[in-house]
Amino acid sequence: MVSGDVSVGGRRVFTMLSASASGKASSQASPPNSLSPSRAADFMQCPLLYRFRVIDKIPEKPTPAATRGTVVHAVLERLFDAPAAERNVRRARSMVVREWERLLARRPELAELFTGDGEDGRGEGAADGAELARWLARAEELVERWFSLEDPTRLEPAERELFVEARLESGLRLRGIIDRVDVAPTGEVRIVDYKTGKAPRPEYAADALFQMKFYALVLWRLRGTIPRRLQLVYLGSGDVLTYDPDEGDLLGVERKLLALWDAIRRATETGDWRPRTGPLCDWCAHRALCPEFGGTPPPYPLMIQPRLPVEASDDVPGGEGVTP
């Protein structure tokens, strides 16, 4: 473990830099018993990727971009703890370092993102303070850009980082975490999600909205009211994408999710998880294990079974709970 101070915007940032991560899986392999937007997207992108993440639970190295997203989300969530008049750019930018240090305390392996034993070869375990400073500065830029898209002094979210979970009539359990839920005085609901990347091209907007429609379906099933608006805030490009769903939209999403779950059940029962190649393969953390690129997946860790239930009842002793 290497420690040191880094200067960011005139502030001193304490860092703990570990030379290596454990690389161990967090839990035993188990069959899926719920569906989230990200895992549904995984299966649609590549069934084998879904297997690696959900069943094998193969660990993936953190990336600077994903970690920055976590920090920025934390800032935008906790900024609303302050009185409305104090929700300004200066306060928000100052929170970036604090949220990074809070995250690092929970996950010290993230320090490896800023050591010299990576691709740049600056020497094993050496702290790259300049790289960390640039990374934090970029996070501050994203936070500041948010103020040009929304005015937090005029917002009082009803929910932040809201965990939602609903069980459909079929028994399928849907779950996820919504960044922000706004409720108008008239009772209309808006679901907001922050993205630290850039807005997609128009032809890919439907894929981006799938996650939001998923959340809208879950809230509808939980509360009986269809959200009035879905809003994606892209901090990387300074764009806001909105969509107003109707009952037909959400029923269509429900049918799609049921079809996806049927396909996931069949793959789980048979062990037949076929890879699907595409543009994202170059960035896949499991490319070395993919047969499409000469790799060999690990042995299938589950027993082949005649039928995978949607989920054991919570009322039955020993019934499965929700897995991450």
Residue 289 in any domain: the answer is: no
Q: Would you give the distance in Å from CA 248 to the centre of its chain?
A: 27
Residue 186 in any domain: the answer is: no
Q: How many CB atoms lie within 10 A of CB 277?
A: 11
Q: Would you give the distance in Å from CA 307 to the centre of its chain?
A: 30
**Containing structural domain, residue 125:** 2-19+58-150
Residue pair 97/11 in contact (Cβ under 8 Å)? The answer is yes
Residue 229 in any domain: the answer is: no
Angle at 20 between CA 197 and CA 323, to 5 degrees: 60
Q: How many CB atoms lie within 10 A of CB 303?
A: 8
> Tens digit of pLDDT per residue, the chain (324 long)?
334 444 444 443 333 333 333 334 445 778 999 999 999 999 999 999 999 999 999 999 999 999 999 999 999 999 999 999 999 999 999 999 999 999 999 999 999 999 865 444 334 455 678 999 999 999 999 999 999 999 999 999 999 999 999 999 999 999 999 999 999 999 999 999 999 999 999 888 998 899 999 999 999 999 999 999 999 999 999 999 999 999 999 999 999 999 999 999 999 999 999 999 999 999 999 999 999 999 999 999 998 865 555 554 444 333 333 333
Residue pair 106/55 in contact (Cβ under 8 Å)? The answer is no
Residue 210 in any domain: the answer is: no
Residue 283 in any domain: the answer is: no
Q: What is the CA radius of gyration of the chain?
A: 21
Q: How many CB atoms lie within 10 A of CB 221?
A: 17
Angle at 132 between CA 129 and CA 136, to 5 degrees: 140
- CA–CA dist 297, 47 (Å, integer): 13
Retrieve residue 227's tokens: 């959200």
Q: How many CB atoms lie within 10 A of CB 48?
A: 24
pTM of the model: 0.82
Angle at 119 between CA 198 and CA 130, to 5 degrees: 70
- CA–CA dist 38, 43 (Å, integer): 9
Residue 76 in any domain: the answer is: yes
Tally of domains in the chain: 1
Residue 94 in any domain: the answer is: yes
Residue 102 in any domain: the answer is: yes
Closest CA to 178 of 129, 209, 211, 141: 211
